[in-house]
A and B are shown apart, each in its own frame.
Chain A
């Protein structure tokens, strides 16, 4: 057996051992979520830039959490109405999503489009969601992005009749999470 032949099993063992040492989770603590409401009266946009998301490579599980009072609006009054009257962020401070990426290949470098399914909880109401998600993996990061729609009435958010024309019945939600390796 030549020198390389002798070293090969050792190298493979080291490679396997080294691989085992890599973090199995990836986390974004500055994830971005924005929502849009389009009506003929006005457009409302808000964004949250401190959304937490953790992806487990081994299981494909994903958990997302965001503070409802950390959404930034164009107008202060919109923010007040959103927090005090609609999502009641004092009572329900967080929105969460817990689910898994279906058929996720964590080692695929490049782009894959997958369905993420799970439970989204907002304003104390939990709904099952299936979200088409673009997943881009580089050596350093894992980026998850996509869009989904949420019906205001599904989350028991009450809009006063006088303002009903200002707020869309369906809200469009965009997300982008740039996750980096993370160890507990």
Chain B
């Protein structure tokens, strides 16, 4: 009886693990919790105690100037920046399916993206980004 219960529990866990759960990383239907331009975002990041406004996992919509678009690591990445500042820049790792929308942009264009804030290293990192407005 103990063995049967144990087996059922293991099977249950395996099933639970393998069933795709609701993907919280899909930002297409999410309302941003913060709307901000790149310059204000960079200023916010440079302030101490900005964590209340910009905490990890927040969905943020950013308006900024494209510095670079690359496909490093086989990922579509857009880097937004503030003129005159090398760091921090804003690294946006784009969601799958954004290639066609990003194709229209090039450096110095203004772009509005929505993504999930992950934190800051040298630059601010956003994942699951989509083009919000063109």
- Are B121 and A76 in touch, CB under 8 angstroms? no
**Chain A residues near B22 (CB, 8 Å)?**
76
- Are A163 and B13 in touch, CB under 8 angstroms? yes
**Chain B residues near A47 (CB, 8 Å)?**
73
Residues of B in contact (CB 8 Å), total 31
Binds A, one of B28-36, B38-46, B101-109, B122-130: B122-130
- Are A30 and B118 in touch, CB under 8 angstroms? no
- Are B72 and A178 in touch, CB under 8 angstroms? yes
Q: Check if A12 is an interface residue, CB within 8 A of chain B.
A: no
Tell me how far the C-beta of A95 lies from the nearest C-beta in chain B, rounded to whole angstroms.
Answer: 11
Instruction: Select the residue from A30, A49, A50 with max chain B CB neighbours within 10 A.
Output: A50
**Chain B residues near A76 (CB, 8 Å)?**
20-25
Q: Which residue of A lies closest to B6 (CB)?
A: A162
Quick one: given A49-B72, A52-B122, A67-B118, are A162 and B13 in contact (CB under 8 Å)?
yes
Residues of A within 8 A of B (CB): 27, 29-30, 32, 41-42, 47, 49-50, 52, 65-67, 69-70, 72, 75-80, 90, 93-94, 162-163, 165-166, 176, 178
Residues of B within 8 A of A (CB): 9-10, 13-14, 16-25, 56-57, 70, 72-73, 75, 77, 89, 91, 93, 118-119, 121-123, 125, 127
